[in-house]
Amino acid sequence: MTKKIKVLTLSDHPLSPSGVGTQTKYVIEALLKTGKFEVLSLGGAIKHHDYTPKLIEPWGEDWKVIPVDGYGTQEMIRSILRNEKPDILWMMTDPRFYEWLWDIENEIRPLCPIVYYHVWDNFPAPHFNAKYYNSNDLIVSISKLTHEIVKEVAPETPSKYIPHAVREDVFKPLSTEERVKIKEQSLGADKDKFIAFWNNRNARRKQSGTLLFWWKEWLDKRDLHQKAQLIMHTEPKDPHGQDLGHIVKQLGLDSDRQVLFSTQKVPLEQMGTFYNMVDVTINISDAEGFGLATLESLSCGVPIIANMTGGLQEQVVGPEGENGVAIFPSSKAVIGSQQVPYIYEDRISKESFMAALDKMYFCDEEARTALGLQGHRHVRQNYSFENFEKQWVETMLKVHEDHSSWSTKNYSSIVFKEVA
């Protein structure tokens, strides 16, 4: 029996609802479907109550998750290298979270190649991160923009482009009759309102609080307090963002249900239904590596309003024309410090955002549907889930072929530390 290729993944917990967690799960399952891989995951970025390693159904012994706070430690990686002998180390999220890992690259890479799925990086941060890029055996970028940045900053490091993808069986347009029924069942008395959807983490760069202020001004200006509703699928009170519930009450946006919060963790299989009951999905983040929610929306045939930053620039305009409203940044902002490498953020104006809302609200339903269906075609042509899986399987097989396996390596001379 051929020995399976063992992959160690470092990322958000692959069963978490974050975009990073979702894409990690997609990559892992693509590998497992082949029967050629087994996976050990460090389930990071969320607080755990139980740290017992768990086998993930239906994959049995082929997929095990070790819960960790943060993303792991040097000692933990050393122990896993010695005891588990992974053939590939695959990682995803902001490179600064892994500075501790790249500090021991000389211990890892002779035994186990590092593949980094690069999520995002606004300038000038890539110049700070160049040393991290050069500590990988392969960098895979989620957007064409990020891929060009990597090639510019770390030209000696092998790199390629594999964009995120969404599951076509989950995120698909429903018929007009089905959408009407979903609205009636889910929204009740609000079913005839114009529904805008915001599906993001409540984090500063996502501009959740700003969105509420601008939403109120737009409702005031157009006298739409009883005709439009914003649904925010997020945690209203997050330490990394604002207290959105407090802002809603201060602005009086609870009087006519102008803003509603969806706080439950909705299973992936139900999210497609969620998108199908709204009229437009909004993303006005100042910096965005990709923007998975807007891609999911387009896949469901629902148009988007998006700031033209990062990977969003590749979503809102397709080869057949617009599939939503593109808002072009009007200014730059600098955030961060010398301790936390600063980045340039793309800021849009309130006026351009309100104009985008006007365009989506005042166009007739037929035109809005046409925009959404163009978006659906754009996703199928450029973000095929089948192609995503195929590319990742081929990439990981090639990495393993190029770097051999533990059976051909001498790791006895490497000094490992026990986990305390």
Greater confidence (341 vs 186) lies with 186
Instruction: Indicate the helix (H) or strand (E) that contains 219.
Output: helix 208-222
What are the structure tokens assigned to 150, written together? 């990597």
Structural domain contains residue 231? yes
With a pLDDT cut of 70, the percent of the chain lying above it is 92
Q: Cα(58)–Cα(90) distance, rounded to whole angstroms?
A: 21
For residue 58, say if its preceding peptide bond is cis, omega within 30 degrees of 0. Answer: yes
- Residue 116 CB coordination number (10 Å): 26
Say what the pLDDT of residue 199 is: 95
User: Total structural domains in the chain?
Assistant: 2
Q: Are residues 337 and 398 in the same domain?
A: no
Provide the pLDDT confidence category of residue 406 given band limits of 50, 70 and 90.
low
Hey, what are 219's tokens?
């409702």
Query: What's the domain range around 272?
Result: 176-382
Residues 154, 207 within the same domain = no
Rounded CA gap, 89 and 92, in Å? 10
pLDDT in tens, 136-163: 999 999 988 889 989 999 999 999 999 9
Kindly state whether residues 150 and 211 are assigned to the same domain. Answer: no
| CA atoms of 117 and 120, how far apart (whole Å) | 10
Taking only the tens place, the pLDDT of each residue in 40-50 is: 999 877 777 88
97 in any annotated domain: yes
CATH of the domain at 241: 3.40.50.2000
| Whole-number Cα distances in Å, 132 to 22, 105, 153, 332 | 24, 10, 11, 26
Above pLDDT 90, what percent of the chain? 67
Same domain, 130 and 189: no
Q: 183 and 222: one domain?
A: yes
Which residues make Cβ contacts (< 8 Å) with residue 229, sequence separation at least 6?
187, 190, 193, 194, 195, 196, 257, 258, 259, 260
Is residue 301 located within the same domain as residue 391?
no
Average pLDDT of the residues in 20-25? 91
- pLDDT mean over 354-365: 95
Same domain, 234 and 375: yes
Residues 148 and 188 in one domain: no
